[in-house]
Every structure is written in C-alpha cells, then in structure tokens.
Amino acid sequence: MANAGLQLLGYFLALGGWVGTICSAALPQWKQSSYAGDAIITAVGLYEGLWMSCASQSTGQVQCKLHDSLLSLDVHLQTSRALMVVSILMGFVGVIVSVVGMKCTKVGDENPVVKSRIAVAGGVLFLIAGKPNSGAPCTHKLLPDFDDSLNLYEFGSALFVGWAAASLTMLGGSFLCCSCPTHTEERRGQQHYRQSQPSTAREYV
C-alpha cells in the first residue's frame, strides 16, 4: 500500500492548490496596465479580472466595477470563467473524496483496498481540476487594442497565482494516484477483509 505520509503530502499540496485556484479566480489582477498619466499624483493603474475591473491611483485609492451581464461579455472572458468554476468544483469534490480514501482517516477503513482506490479517484479529480486552471489564462485576452498606447496590458499577478495553484493541484493529485494497490496487495486486503468479518452463524447444541 502507499505510504500514508505520501498521501498526506499529496493531499495538502492539492488542498493548497485548490485554495490558490479560488484566490486566482477572485483576484482582479488577471491583466494590468502600466501607470498612465503625466503627473505622478494623477497616475492610474488599471486592472481587469474575471469578475471586475479596478483602477488604482497613486494616492492609494482603488475603485472597482463589476462586469456587465454575462451575455454582454466577450467570449474569452466567459470561457475563462467557466474553466475556473469547473476547476474549483472538481477540486472541491477531490477534497471530499481524498479524505475518505486516505489511510490516516477512519472512514471506511474496513477494506484497505477500497480506500486506496478511493484515494486514487481523489487524485484523478485533482489532476482534472488542475487542467482547466492552467488553461484558463491561455484563453484570456491580454493585449486588446494596440492603437491605444495608454492601455497596453501585461500579465497580472493573478495569472501567476493560478499557474502555481494548478501545479500544486496536479502534483498533489499525482502523489495521491500513487495509492493504486498492486495485485498482491489486493489479495492481502481481500483476505484481511474476509477475516475481519464477524461470524453470524452460530452453532447451538
């Protein structure tokens, strides 16, 4: 069977990646512009995310505005939203399933082979959750209009958070997938499961 420490390490890596995915989806710094303005006092930095756009002034004041209705958004923004939501939902299911399948938990520990398979299923869910997260930034439009020289956008910090979160999620899922039992371990687990079953047949004289 896989080492319980390896499962625990994979679980916490994937859990940290899932939390990072939520932070990346919520942050507005998916793309950001360099400061525009002749005077330092009136310099403004523009940020755009999946859900809102913000303007940060040099005085420290930040103003944010939510995007318009879903139907009026660009296709790339709708696609990025959908990918991030799918990644978060798949990660949530992976968190629940992995807790059941890990050896350090007592849930369903009657059959260790089944627990190992559940842990593998949780790892697969984390691997699937990392794919949309890593692909969502690629669908986001970073350089919209080159005609307006004041609004040239570059990579924002939320993109790097999302890429790091996707890497952690997939790495943790890979560790959990190492829980797959071999044929010898399956036979031992089945024998242990049969021996641990209480005998219901009793002989009476």
Domains and CATH numbers, the chain: 4-28+74-144+151-195 (1.20.140.150)
What are the helix (H) ranges across 140-182? 157-177
Is the sign of the CA dihedral 131, 135, 137, 139 positive or negative? Answer: negative
| C-alpha–C-alpha distance, residues 25 and 84, integer Å | 6
Contacts of 191 (CB under 8 A, 6+ apart): none
Give pLDDT tens digits for 121-136.
999 999 999 888 777 6
- Residue-averaged pLDDT of the chain: 76
Instruction: Identify the segments of the chain with pLDDT beneath 50.
Output: 1, 143-150, 189, 192-193, 199-205
- Residue whose token pair is 């794919």: 131
Give pLDDT tens digits for 65-109.
887 776 677 777 888 888 899 999 999 999 999 998 888 877 766
